[in-house]
C-alpha cells in the first residue's frame, strides 16, 4: 500500500496520484491540508525521506516569504511551522513501507511500484 500526501489542487500531486492508480497499487490518500500530520507523523515522514525539516518546506509559498524567509529555527521549530501551515509541506509525498519520496517529477513514484 502507498500512502500519498496529496493536494488535489496541485498538478504534480494529481499526476502522481494518476500514476499510482494506473499501476493498480493499493492507495491511501492523505489530504494533509485538511488534516495536517501530527508531529510524530511528520518526523516519521522526514526520517523515511532522509531529509531535515527545512528541506521539506516549499520556500516559494507566500506564507513562507511573509513569515519565515531569512529566519533560522531548530528542526523541531520547523516541524511546528509545517504543522501550523501545512501548505508549506512539499508535495506530493508517497510512502510505501519504510521508503518515502517526493513526487517531483511524478515519475519518481515509479521507484515505489
Confidence (pLDDT) at 113: 87
Confidence (pLDDT) at 52: 98
Cell (9 digits) for 16: 502522481
Select which of 3, 10, 14, 61 is catalytic.
Answer: 10
Interval 29-52: pLDDT, tens: 999 999 999 999 999 999 999 999
Confidence (pLDDT) at 110: 93
Confidence (pLDDT) at 88: 98
Question: Looking at residues 85-106, what average pLDDT do you find?
Answer: 97
* Cell numbers 509541506: residue: 89
Domain extents in the chain: 2-112
User: Cis before residue 105, ω within 30 degrees of 0?
Assistant: yes
Q: Please calculate the CA angle 101-24-58 and round it to the nearest 5 degrees.
A: 25
pLDDT of residue 68 exceeding 90, the answer is yes
Confidence (pLDDT) at 5: 98
Give yes or no: 10 in active site.
yes
Q: Count helices and strands (H / E) in the chain.
A: 4, 4
Confidence (pLDDT) at 40: 98
Strand order in the sheet with 27-30: 27-30, 2-5, 93-96, 99-102
When the candidates are 3.30.70.360, 3.40.30.10, 3.40.50.300, 3.40.50.261, the CATH number that belongs to 2-112 is: 3.40.30.10
**CA 100, CA 42: separation in Å to the nearest integer?**
12
Average pLDDT, the chain: 97
CB 17 within 8 A of CB 92: yes
Amino acid at each position: 500500500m502507498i500512502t500519498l500526501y496529496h493536494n488535489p489542487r496541485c498538478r504534480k500531486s494529481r499526476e502522481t496520484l494518476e500514476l499510482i492508480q494506473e499501476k493498480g497499487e493499493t492507495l491511501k490518500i492523505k489530504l494533509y491540508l485538511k488534516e495536517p500530520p501530527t508531529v510524530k507523523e511528520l518526523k516519521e515522514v522526514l526520517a523515511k525521506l532522509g531529509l531535515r525539516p527545512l528541506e521539506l518546506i516549499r520556500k516559494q509559498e507566500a506564507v513562507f516569504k511573509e513569515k519565515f524567509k531569512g529566519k533560522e529555527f531548530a528542526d523541531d521549530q520547523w516541524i511546528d511551522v509545517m504543522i501550523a501551515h501545512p501548505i508549506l509541506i512539499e508535495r506530493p509525498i508517497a510512502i510505501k513501507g519504510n521508503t518515502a519520496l517526493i513526487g517531483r517529477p511524478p515519475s519518481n513514484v515509479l521507484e515505489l511500484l
